[in-house]
Amino acid sequence: MSEIPLQVIPIGGLGEIGKNMMAFQYDRDVLIVDAGLMFPENDMLGIDYIIPDFRYLSGQPNLRVRGILITHGHEDHTGAIQHVVSAFPAPIYATPLTAGLIEVKLRQAHLSDRVKLNVFRAGDKLDLSPFWIEAFHVCHSIPDCVGFGITTPVGLFVHTGDFKFDPTPVDRRVTDYAKLASFSARSVVALFSDSTNAERPGWTPSESVIDSAFDRVFRAAKGRVIVSTFASLISRVQQVAWASERYGRKVAIIGASMAENVRMALQLGYLELPDGLLISPEEARNLPPNQVTFVVTGSQGEPSAVLNRLATNNHGTLSIQPGDTVIISARPIPGNEETVSRTINRLFQRGAQVIYDAIDSVHVSGHASQEEQRLMLSLVRPRNFVPIHGELRHLKAHRELALQVGIPDERIAVVENGTKLLFYRDGQMVIGERVPGGYVFVDGSGVGDVHSGLIREREALGRDGVVVLSAVVERDSGRVVCPPEIKAYGFVASGAAQGLLASAVQAAQRVLEQNGARSKADQVEETLSKLFYNEIRRRPKLFVTVHEI
Amino acid sequence: MSEIPLQVIPIGGLGEIGKNMMAFQYDRDVLIVDAGLMFPENDMLGIDYIIPDFRYLSGQPNLRVRGILITHGHEDHTGAIQHVVSAFPAPIYATPLTAGLIEVKLRQAHLSDRVKLNVFRAGDKLDLSPFWIEAFHVCHSIPDCVGFGITTPVGLFVHTGDFKFDPTPVDRRVTDYAKLASFSARSVVALFSDSTNAERPGWTPSESVIDSAFDRVFRAAKGRVIVSTFASLISRVQQVAWASERYGRKVAIIGASMAENVRMALQLGYLELPDGLLISPEEARNLPPNQVTFVVTGSQGEPSAVLNRLATNNHGTLSIQPGDTVIISARPIPGNEETVSRTINRLFQRGAQVIYDAIDSVHVSGHASQEEQRLMLSLVRPRNFVPIHGELRHLKAHRELALQVGIPDERIAVVENGTKLLFYRDGQMVIGERVPGGYVFVDGSGVGDVHSGLIREREALGRDGVVVLSAVVERDSGRVVCPPEIKAYGFVASGAAQGLLASAVQAAQRVLEQNGARSKADQVEETLSKLFYNEIRRRPKLFVTVHEI
C-alpha cells in the first residue's frame, strides 16, 4: 500500500497503556494528546517521578508537532508538560481549568514565555490541519474534562480521555451523549477508550450518592468534621460545602495544593460557595468544634500531607481530638493500601471516628465501569477498538466487553506502549512495529539515567546497610601506617554496634598485617563479610579502601 | 478486690491485634494461644520477619507456662514457635496437620528434642490445670483448624481462632455450631473473635463456589492449566484435583513448600487423590498440554516463587506458552497488590489467558464476614466481647456488629496489643494497664536490635545511593599524600558517573590542599554534597575519611 496511513502510538504510563501520552501521526504531522507523569511504585527507590519515553518522536527532526491537546488537569495527563514542550515547542490546547493548572507548571519551569497556551471549551472545534479536533465534555473526577473527535485524512477517530457517564454529576454537566452518538453517524475508524475500571461490573455510582452519605455523617457528627480527598477533586469540595452549610458549619481548607486548586476553581466558576462559608484555618480554630469542617490533603496516606501529619500528631496547628469525625473521601490508589490503612488505624488510635469507603459511600470512582464502557462502545460504534488507559489486565477485560457488543476480534487491538497502530482509508487497522514508548525515570535533574541496575544497587544498600573501612599501609614494608577507620550506617543498632565494629577493625588490621601489598582490599572485604555473617547473619554492602604510601 | 482476676493479653501482629499470640494468665499460671510471625511491610527495609514482643511474660521468672496451644498451621500462628519455646519450655498442643508443620520448624531449629509436641483433635479436652481446654473445629483456609473453649477459675472463655462458617467446605467438616451453642448455655465470660473481614457485608462464599468456576475454566482451557494458590491451601489443591480428573488432566505440583504440604496432607488423610493423578513435573512435561495441570506457589507475586518466575520467564524447567491458562486462586494480601498486578500483566504479555478473582470466582476468603460474625456472637452469647485478629479499623467495625446484636458498649473492649484485660468471677471486665506487647523485628540473627532509626538510615541509603571517598594527608605540612579515592553505588548510572566522580575527586583534592588539618572530612563532605546537588539534584549519603600521617 503506498497510501499514507494514520499512525497512532500509545506512550508512557507505568504498566498502563497510553495513559500519559498518545501520538497521532500523519506523514510528517503529529498531534500529541496529553503529557502526563506517573509517581514511582514502592520498589522504585529514589525515583522522583516517571515521564513518557517520547524518544521515537523527538528522534525524528522532520516531524511537525501541530499541537499538544490535554484532556484534563490530572498529573498523569499534565505533569510532564515541561519535558514535552521542551522537546516539541508546539502550542498547547486545554480547557480553562486545565490551562490554569498547566500555567502554574510552565511558570515554575520558566517556560511561560516560550510556549503558547490556548484555551478552548468543550464543544469547540480546533483546526490543527491536517487534524481537525472536536472537543466534547466528559465526566470524571476533576472539572472541565474532555475527550476528542479527531478528523484526519484517513477518517474520524474518537479518544475518550478519562471518563464516566454520571447522570447526576455535581456540576450538572453530563458526558456529551449526543456528540458521541453523532460521531457514530459519521463512521468512526477507531475508538480509544478508558479501560481503568474494565474489571468492575455494573455502572460507577454517581457523585450524587455521596451527598446522602455526607448528610448521614454530618448529621451524626458531634465535634469537628475533617474531610480528606484528592486536591483536584473540586466537586467533592462542593459537596462538603453543601453539607457544611446545611449543618451550620464553616469550611477551612488545609494543604497548599488543595487551597491553590480551590482558589483557581472559584475564580473560574467551577466551585460555588455561599458568601462567608470559606474561612481561614486560623478563624476555624476559634469556632466551636460543631461549627467547623476542615478539608485536607493526604487521602493517600502520603507522609508529608496533612492527613498523615494529623494521624501521627505532627501537624503544626491542628491535632486530632476525641470527638472528631474524619472522612476519607477517596480510595487508595493501587500500591497505597498499606499506608492508607495505617493512617486509618492511627486516626482511630487518636480517638477520631473514621469514615471511609468500606463504612459508608463517601467516595465513588471517576472512571466508567463495564456497563458504561459497553455504552460508550454502543454510542460510538467504531469500526476498530483500542482499549487504552489501564494495565494490560484491564485492556484484556475491556476487549471482552467489546467482543460482547459485537466488535470482531480482529478489529480490537490490545497493544503495549510504543506499538504503532496503522489505519488506512478503507478502515483497516494494522498492528505495526514496536518502538520505544515506555517510561523514563526522573531522579533529581537526571532524566533517564536511572535504570533497573541502579535501583537494584539501592535495594542492596537498603537491605542491610553499609560498612565503610579504610586504612593506610606502607607499600614496601607492608606496615600498617594508619589503622583501619570504620563507619557503619543502617547496619546494626548503636548498642550492638560497638563491639561488632571493634572486632571488625581488629580483623581488618590482622589481614593487613599478615598480607603483602596485593589485593588487600578484597581480602579485607572477604574477612569482614564472613565476620558479619557469622556474628549477626547480615550482609551489609562493604566499601574497603587500602591506601598505599 | 483481693480476688485473683484472669488476665488476658493480646500480643504481636503488625497492626493486627492478638494475631500472633494471646496470653491467658491466672495468678502464676499462663496459657499461650498461638506463636506466629508476620512478614515485613514494604517500607521495613532488610527485616526478615517480625515476632511478637513477649518480654512482659518472659520478664516474670515465676510464671508457669502450662502449655502453648496452636489454633492452626498458618505462619502467622506458628512461625515464631522456636522463639516462643526457647523462652518458655512448655509443651505444645496442636492438631495433627498443625503438629506436622510445627515439627518441621522445630527440627530446622534443632529444638525437636527439647520440646514436647502433643497432638489432639477437634472435640478433645485438655487438662492444663488451672486451665481446662475444649477444642472445637472451625473452617478456615487450611485443614484442621480449631478454636478453644477455655475454662478457668474465673469462668469460661471462647477463642475462635481464624474462622468462617462454611456450610459446604471441601472436606465436609463444618464449623462446630453445636459446641459453640453449648458454650452459651454454660455462660461465657468473654468471646475473643476473628475480626479480619469485619468490613465485609454478608457471608463469605463457600469454598464450593470455586468448583463451578474451576469447571468453567477447565472446560474452556485448550492448553495447559497452571493454578497458583497459597502453599497451605490444601482444599484448593483438592478442588484442582477434582477438576483435573473430570477433564482428563494429571496434576503436578511445583514449589517446595507446596510439595511438602501436599505430601503431609496426603499422609495424614487431609487430601484424597485418585491413584495416578499426581505426577512429577518431569512426567508432566512429556504430556500433551491439554492433559496436564500444574499447581504452583507464588500467588502473592513473591519474586522467588514459581508464578513470578514463570511471569518473568526465569523458571528453570517450565515456561509460559500462548494457549496456557493461568488461574490465580488467591487474593493479594494487603501490601502485595502491586506485585500481584505486575505478575498478572506479565503473564498476559507471555500470551497466557489469566483468570483471577476479578474475572471469575476462583478464590474465596478464609475469614468470616459480617453475617457470620453476628452469628458467632449470637451462638456464643458472651457476657463480654473482645474483637481480635484484625487491625484497629477491623476491631472497630466488629464492635459495631456486637452493638447491633445487643452487647452493651461497656462490655466490648477494643484494645491494642499489650493491653491487659482483667476478668472477675462476677463476669466483670476491666481494661488494665498496657505492657509491652507489640512486635519485634528479626534481621539475620538479631532479634529486636533493628528499630525505626536504623530503618530510616536504610531508607536514606536507598534513596540516592552512597559515595565513599578517602584520602591521606600529611599532618604537619597538609600535603596530600594519597589523592582521594572515590566509590559510588546506587548513585548515578555508569555513563554519567565518570565525569561527575572525576569532578568530585578534583574538588576534594582542592579542599584538602587548601585547608589545614582540622575537620577536613566535614569540609570535603560539604563540598561534595553541594557539587552533587548542583550537578544532578541528588543527595547521596556521603562517607569521607581523611587519614593523617
Active site residue A194: yes
Q: Residue A474: which residues within 8 A CB-CB, separation 6 or more?
A: A480, A481, A548, A549
pLDDT band at B1 (very low <50, low <70, confident <90, very high): low
Gap from A302 CA to chain B (nearest CA, Å): 13
Among residues A447, A474, A508, which one ends one of the domains?
A447
Q: Mutate which of B393, B394, B487 to test chain A, going by most A C-beta atoms within 10 A?
A: B393
CATH number at residue A536: 3.10.20.580
Please give the grid coordinates belonging to residue B80: 515464631
> Mean per-residue pLDDT for A188-213?
97
**pLDDT band per the 50, 70, 90 thresholds, residue A3:** very high
Which pLDDT band holds residue A516 (cuts at 50, 70, 90)? low
Q: Is residue B457 part of a domain?
A: no
* Residue B458 near chain A (CB below 8 Å): yes
For residue B513, the model assigns a pLDDT of 87
Contact check, Cβ <8 Å, B538/A459:
no
Same domain, A290 and A157: no
B43 touches chain A (CB under 8 A): yes
pLDDT at B518: 60
Number of domains in chain A: 3
Distance between CA A33 and CA A23 in Å, rounded? Answer: 6
- B389/A91 Cα distance (integer angstroms): 57
d(CA A389, CA A149): 17
- Chain-chain contact of B549 with A457 (C-beta, under 8 angstroms): no
How much is the pLDDT for B319? 94
Q: What is the pLDDT of residue A518?
A: 60
Residue B517 predicted with pLDDT over 60 = no
**Is residue A460 a part of any domain in this protein?**
no
Residues of A in contact with B496 (CB under 8 A): 446, 449
pLDDT recorded at residue B519: 61
Q: Is the pLDDT of residue B121 over 60?
A: yes
Are B338 and A42 inside 8 Å of each other by CB?
A: yes
Please indicate, yes or no, whether residues A229 and A317 belong to a single structural domain of this protein.
yes
* Position A14 confidence tier, pLDDT thresholds 50, 70, 90: confident
Looking at the complex, does the CB of residue A461 fall below 8 Å from at least one CB of chain B? yes
* Chosen domain end from B301, B320, B355: B355
Q: How far is B372 from chain A (nearest CA, A)?
A: 17
pLDDT digits (tens, 9 = 90+) for A36-59: 999 998 888 889 999 999 999 999
Q: Which domain holds residue B75?
A: 6-202+365-447
Could you tell me if residue B1 is inside a domain?
A: no
Q: Is B348 on the interface with A (CB under 8 A)?
A: yes
HEC profile for B78-144?
Answer: HCCHHHHHHHCCCCEEECHHHHHHHHHHHHHCCCHHHCCEEECCCCCEEEECCEEEEEEEEECCCCC
Indicate whether A134 belongs to any domain.
yes
Kindly state the greatest CA–CA separation across chain A: 92
Is the domain of B308 the same as that of B242? yes
- Measured between beta carbons, the chain A residues lying within 8 angstroms of B492 are 446, 449, 454
pLDDT at A447 over 90: no
For the beta carbon of residue B534, count every other beta carbon within 10 angstroms.
Answer: 9
**Quick one: A430 and A319 in the same domain?**
no
Please check whether residues A104 and A218 belong to one and the same domain: no
Q: Does A420 have pLDDT greater than 80?
A: yes
Please report the residues numbered 224 through 243 in chain B whose beta carbons come closer than 8 angstroms to any beta carbon of chain A: none
pLDDT at A1: 52
Q: Does A501 contact B at CB distance below 8 Å? A: no
| b/e per residue B442-455 (b: at least 16 CB within 10 A) | bbbebeebbeeebb
Q: Are residues B25 and B167 in the same domain?
A: yes
Q: Are residues A493 and B453, on separate chains, in Cβ contact within 8 Å? A: yes
How many residue contacts between A and B have a Cβ separation below 8 Å? 226
What CATH number has the domain bearing residue B272? 3.40.50.10710
CA distance B478 to chain A (A): 15
Tell me what percent of the residues of chain B surpass a pLDDT of 70.
99
Q: SS3 of B239, please?
A: helix
Contact at CB, A466 and B543, closer than 8 angstroms: yes
Using CA coordinates, name the residue in chain A closest to B457: A490
Cross-chain residue pair A541–B489, CB shorter than 8 Å: yes
Q: Output the CA–CA distances (angstroms, integers) from residue A437 to A11, A55, A72, B508, in the order listed.
A: 5, 8, 21, 40
User: Nearest-CA distance from B280 to chain A in Å?
Assistant: 31
- CATH, residue A156: 3.60.15.10
Tell me the one-letter amino acid at B219: R
A422 touches chain B (CB under 8 A): no
Please pick, among A76, A176, A194, A464, the residue that the annotation labels catalytic.
A194
The average confidence (pLDDT) of chain B is 94
Phi, psi values for residue A472, rounded to 5°: -125, 130
- Cα separation, B484 vs B507, in Å, equals 10
Q: Least CB-CB distance to A493: which of B354, B451, B460?
A: B451
Mean pLDDT of the A307-318 span: 94
Asked if the Cβ–Cβ distance from B391 to A341 is below 8 Å, we say yes
CA distance B89 to B104: 18
Question: A356-406 pLDDT, tens per residue?
Answer: 999 999 999 999 999 999 999 999 999 999 999 999 999 999 999 999 999
Per-residue pLDDT at A483 exceeds 80: yes
A460 touches chain B (CB under 8 A): yes
**pTM for the whole structure:** 0.91
B454 close contact with A: CB closer than 8 A: yes
**DSSP secondary-structure letter at B312?**
T
- Contacts (Cβ under 8 Å, ≥6 apart) of B429: B189, B190, B383, B384, B411, B413, B421, B422, B423
B297-341 tens-digit pLDDT = 999 999 899 999 999 999 988 999 999 999 999 999 888 999 999
Q: Are residues B231 and B190 in the same domain?
A: no
Catalytic residue (one of A137, A140, A367, A394): A367
Same domain membership, residue A307 and residue A234 = yes
Residues of B with a catalytic annotation lie at 194, 367
User: Peptide bond before A130: cis, by omega within 30 degrees of 0?
Assistant: yes
A499 and B CB contact within 8 Å: no
Distance CA B536, CA B549 (A): 34
Residue A126, pLDDT score = 98
CB B145 within 8 A of CB B159: no
Decide: B295 and B257 in contact? Cβ < 8 Å. Answer: no
B392 neighbourhood in chain A, CB within 8 Å? 344-345, 348-349
What pLDDT is attached to residue B516?
A: 61
Q: Is residue B453 part of a domain?
A: no
Residue B178 has pLDDT above 80, yes or no: yes
Residue A517 banded pLDDT, cuts 50, 70, 90:
low
Residue B374 in any domain: the answer is yes
- Among chain A residues, CA nearest to B471: A547
Same domain, A91 and A149: yes
Confidence label for B532 from pLDDT (cuts 50, 70 and 90): very high
Q: What is the pLDDT of residue A67?
A: 98
Q: Distance between CA atoms of B282 and B539, rounded to whole angstroms?
A: 51
User: Are A430 and A515 part of one and the same domain?
Assistant: no
Mark whether B239 and B347 lie in a shared domain.
Answer: yes
- The minimum CA-CA distance between B460 and chain A, rounded to whole Å, is 8
Of A355, A385, A407, the position where a domain reaches its end is A355
Query: What does the pLDDT look like over A264-282, one tens digit per residue?
Result: 999 999 999 999 999 999 9
Report the 10 Å Cβ neighbour count for B524. Answer: 26
ipTM of this complex > 0.95? no
pLDDT score, position B63: 96
Q: pLDDT of B132-160, one tens digit each?
A: 999 999 999 999 999 999 999 999 999 99
Nearest chain A Cα distance for residue B458, angstroms: 4
Q: How far does chain A reach from its first CA to its final CA, in angstroms?
A: 73
Tell me whether residues A348 and B41 touch, CB distance under 8 A.
no
Asked if the structure places residue B455 within a domain, the reply is no
- Give tens-digit pLDDT for B481-507: 989 999 999 998 877 788 899 999 999
Q: What is the percentage of chain A residues whose pLDDT exceeds 70?
A: 99
pLDDT at A519: 61
Domain-embedded: residue B151: yes
Chain A CB contacts of B464 under 8 Å are: 46, 443-444, 458
Average pLDDT over residues B165-172: 95
> Which of the four pLDDT bands, split at 50, 70 and 90, describes residue A112?
very high
Same domain (yes/no): B176, B29: yes
